[in-house]
Amino acid sequence: MRPIERDLLRFKEIVRGEVKKKAREFLTREELFGQVEGRLVSIPLPQLELPKIVYGEPLGEDLGLGGPGTDSLGPAGHVPVAELELEEFLDLVGEALRLPRLRPKGEGEVTEEAFRYTTIARKGPRGLRHVRRTLKESLKRALITGEYRSEEPLLVPEREDLRYKAPRSKPRPHAQAVVLFALDVSGSMREEELRLVKTLSFWITLWIKRHFPRLERRYLLHDAEAWEVTEEEFFRAREGGGTRLSSALLLAEEILKRYPESFYNRYLYHFSDGENWQGDTPVALEALRRLLPTLALYGYAQVQGPYGQGRFLEDLREALGKEEGLAATEVKGKEDLPLALRRLLGG
């Protein structure tokens, strides 16, 4: 290995170490949320700077005489930034927070036919005509028959010259998943709780996607009734009426019919302050009994609202605590996020 590669590896190793050390901090850094759909994540790492005795302020702004800028002489004031591939970044954070690896459940592994146009055929649709190969054949024929004249190199492909791109099918195993987020918007959820929900659902999505690149997402809101919304609407603060947790579960059941469990790893996440209408809890639990065996996970996060805590979490644990695939947790504030995230992912 060239020495510079060794130095580069060591640098990357240090960056990884820093990311792991700061994993908890990254959880709540909303500026990360924007870039994470991309491939690279930029991470500010001021602690990677070797400190020096330098001036505290940029040395006098002058009158256009021009002085050393930030990248030449003088104390430069930039914060070092490291870039990491999203997948690597997620793995590091996942490792630091001990997030569980997700496994395709049962038949969730799908073998799908992936068509790739890798061969050439003599017949095919117009749209798949392979121009270069066709002209090549045409040229060959013209050369053989002596029709080709270099001073006027015009090629007119004939029927026998036509070549087409042809598919060759290759079965590839591919696990896919669907994640459905349900949010209780009855009176008691406010900005602060919503932010916790947003953070959790953001990381849950990323982590599931890390394991099932083919991930579909659905969002629904509910108070006494449930309705489906877009991702954007999901995170908009609003207030509603009373609460029927069952409404969300029943709508989820409906939506999930489009994602048969034999083809999808189905995840359902439900955020609520746990204050349910008295008569509704048995209905909700009944719906869950039906749903649970078909899900990879049912994650229930009870967020503490301004008026204290409801009791659905207790009821849920009492009734279904022993069932597999139930991941229930409570989130009172930012400091609970790492543990809540781990629990919600089945850890």
Span of 9-17, 150-158, 200-208, 309-317 interacting with another protein by CB under 8 A: 9-17
Paired with 41 in beta bridges are: 84
Phi first, then psi, for residue 45 (nearest 5°) are -135, 70
CB 99 within 8 A of CB 345: yes
CB of 39 to another protein, least distance (A): 14
Q: Which is nearer to another protein, 72 or 150 (CB)?
A: 72
146 lines the binding site for another protein (CB under 8 A):
no
Could you say which DSSP state residue 308 is in? Answer: B
20 lines the binding site for another protein (CB under 8 A):
no
67 lines the binding site for another protein (CB under 8 A):
yes
Q: From 328, 224, 333, select the one nearest 275 (Cα to Cα).
A: 224
Helix axes 280-291, 245-256, angle to 10 degrees: 20
227: tokens are 């309705």
4 lines the binding site for another protein (CB under 8 A):
yes
Tell me the DSSP string of 122-145: S---GGGB-HHHHHHHHHHHHHHH
156 lines the binding site for another protein (CB under 8 A):
no
Q: From 339, 274, 329, 273, select the one nearest 299 (Cα to Cα).
A: 329
Sign of the Cα torsion 93, 96, 97, 99 reads positive
Span of 68-76, 200-208, 222-230, 267-275 interacting with another protein by CB under 8 A: 68-76
CB of 267 to another protein, least distance (A): 37
Per-residue x/- marks for another protein, 79-118, CB under 8 A?
Answer: -x--x-----------------------------------
Q: Which is nearer to another protein, 44 or 213 (CB)?
A: 44
CB of 194 to another protein, least distance (A): 35
**Hey, which residues between 23 and 62 contact another protein (CB under 8 A)?**
48, 50-57, 59-62
CB 219 within 8 A of CB 228: yes
Rule CB under 8 A: which residues touch another protein? Answer: 2-4, 6-12, 14, 48, 50-57, 59-69, 72-75, 80, 83
